[in-house]
């Protein structure tokens, strides 16, 4: 219906979603209810994130020389945001409701075939 909103689940980068928003912001903001996305890791405050600096070269890639230059993740970061941080930032600051499903929570989700 004309007054209904659409909830979206982002399972990759935010590129296409940001493109849609930038193409027609009025329609996007009036039609999108909640954006759910997979990303991030919540750790206890006592844990310090482990960051390893790497110099990437084609020989280092697990997927060959045609791979995206950064094929390894930094623990505690979101690959889906890392792929296109500008688009993710645009969606996060757009005013739409955002719900993040962290890696921690995804590991304990129970879904069955009977779920709607």
Q: How far apart are CA 115 and CA 26, in angstroms?
A: 34
Every domain of the chain and the residues it spans: 6-43+50-106
Quickly list H helices, the chain: 15-23, 25-31, 79-82, 85-92, 103-106
Tokens of 116: 């709607």
Instruction: Please write the tens of the pLDDT for every residue from 62-77.
Output: 544 444 545 555 555 6
User: Which pLDDT belongs to residue 114?
Assistant: 85
More confident residue, 69 or 37: 37
Global confidence as pTM: 0.66
SS3 assignment, position 66: coil
Mean pLDDT of the chain: 76
């Amino acid at each position: 219906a004309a007054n209904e909103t659409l909830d979206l689940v982002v399972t990759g980068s935010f590129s296409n979603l940001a493109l849609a928003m930038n193409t027609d912001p009025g329609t996007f903001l009036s039609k999108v209810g909640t954006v759910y996305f997979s990303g991030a890791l919540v750790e206890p405050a006592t844990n310090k994130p482990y960051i390893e600096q790497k110099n990437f070269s084609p020989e280092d890639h697990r997927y060959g020389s045609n791979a995206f230059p950064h094929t390894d993740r930094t623990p505690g970061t979101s690959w889906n945001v890392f792929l296109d941080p500008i688009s993710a930032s645009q969606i996060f600051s757009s005013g739409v409701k955002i719900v993040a499903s962290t890696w921690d929570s995804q590991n304990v989700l129970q879904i069955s075939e009977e779920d709607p």
